[in-house]
Amino acid sequence: MAAPTPEREPVISVRGATAALGARPVLRGVDLTVRRGEVVALLGANGSGKSTAVRSVIGQVPLTGGTIELFGTDRKRFRDWARVGYVPQRTTAASGVPATIREVVSSGRLSRRRFGWLTKADKAAVERAIDLVGLADRAKDSVSALSGGQHQRVLIARALASEPELLIMDEPMAGVDLASQEILASTLREQVAGGTSVLLVLHELGPLEPLIDRAVVLRDGCVVHDGPPPEALGQHALPGHDHVHPHAAGEPLRTGLLT
């Protein structure tokens, strides 16, 4: 079901995207396609432009050139945000005022019901999303009482609350303990089995590796690899792979693909 078929229509189509932060070019002609049902990982070192690429797809970073289409519609004219679930790069789901997990996840439903009361169906979708990330028994707890991994699970539940067809996640595994990583991987597996397309920024493949159909590797704002996911450590054939051997004396243990 989740197997990529090249003929399927693209849900994300980025062509020759260029973007700059201040005077510094961050994207220098990026092509990126995610087809329906595909799971694509965006990999690269810090500062390679992977977060900027994802944030330009959802309209948070303006492009200086190139085009982006979401579900075949030019991004500037795209309004159907309920089809997109977004997980921003965050270390916390908390803010200046206490809020429960249910309250935070409910705001993900705004893309389906922008104004007016939440219906029974809306509330059921919120409960389902909380259940999917394994926090059902804590729905009434304040998010400030959660661990780092649980924060990330709340952010993902918030994205799932709109029952999206496309999930865009920026480093969902950053700072997540192993137990939560496994839960996130199984949540994602269920979504993908149900036909959801996924674009996610990762620092390393980790427990998500078996799910990933294709990997796109960025370096200095350019795509240097687009194909099957490179196998983690042991495979040094990746272009631009400046891997630090984890056992090298004096070096900190690095486990990323491109460290």
Partner 1 sequence: MEMLDLAFMQRALLAAVLVGITAPAVGIYLVQRRQALMGDGIGHVAMTGVGLGFLLNSSPVWMATLVAVVGSVGMELIRAYGKTRGDLALALLFYGGMAGGVLLINLSPTGSNANLSSYLFGSLSTVSEADITAIGILAAFVVLVTVGLRRQLFAVSQDEEFARVTGLPVRALNLLIAVTAAVTVTVAMRVVGLLLVSALMVVPVAAAQQLSKSFRATFVLAVVTGITVTLAGTVTSYYQDVPPGATIVLYAIGVFVLLTLLATPLAKRRARAAEAGAESCDAPVPATRRPSDDVKV
Beta strand pairing call for 65-70 and 39-44: unpaired
> Binders of partner 1 among 25-54, rule CB under 8 A?
none
> Binders of partner 1 among 104-123, rule CB under 8 A?
104, 106-108, 110-111, 114-115, 118
Q: Judging by beta carbons within 10 Å of its beta carbon (0-12, 13-18, 19+), is residue 233 exposed, middle or buried?
A: middle
Question: From CA 242, how far away is CA 257, in angstroms rounded?
Answer: 9
By beta-carbon proximity to partner 1, the closer residue of 49 and 223 is: 49
Integer CA distances (angstroms), 93 to 28, 102, 104, 118, 256, in order: 32, 12, 8, 22, 25
By beta-carbon proximity to partner 1, the closer residue of 18 and 100 is: 100
Question: From CA 143, how far away is CA 138, in angstroms rounded?
Answer: 9
By beta-carbon proximity to partner 1, the closer residue of 158 and 219 is: 158
Instruction: Report, in Å, the least distance between residue 41 CB and partner 1.
Output: 15
Binding-site string for partner 1 from residue 206 to residue 245, where x marks contact by CB under 8 A and - marks none: xx-xx--------------------xxxx-----------
Judged by CB under 8 A, the residue of 99, 135, 200, 201 near partner 1 is: 99
Instruction: Report, in Å, the least distance between residue 219 CB and partner 1.
Output: 20
Instruction: Report, in Å, the least distance between residue 54 CB and partner 1.
Output: 11
Amino acid at 209: E
Number of Cβ atoms within 10 Å of the Cβ of 231: 13
Provide the sign of the torsion angle of the four alpha carbons 103, 187, 169, 174, taken in this order: positive
Question: From CA 83, how far away is CA 70, in angstroms rounded?
Answer: 10
By beta-carbon proximity to partner 1, the closer residue of 17 and 146 is: 146
Question: From CA 150, how far away is CA 158, in angstroms rounded?
Answer: 12
Q: Could you say whether residue 91 binds partner 1 (CB under 8 A)? A: yes
Q: Is 107 left (phi over 0), alpha (psi -120 to 50) or beta?
A: alpha
Instruction: Report, in Å, the least distance between residue 181 CB and partner 1.
Output: 8
Q: Candidates 24-32, 64-72, 141-149, 190-198: pick the segment binding partner 1 (CB under 8 A).
A: 141-149
Binding site for partner 1 (CB under 8 A): 58-60, 79, 81-82, 84, 86, 88, 90-91, 93, 95-100, 103-104, 106-108, 110-111, 114-115, 118, 140-142, 145, 147-150, 158, 162, 174-182, 185, 204, 206-207, 209-210, 231-234, 246, 253, 255
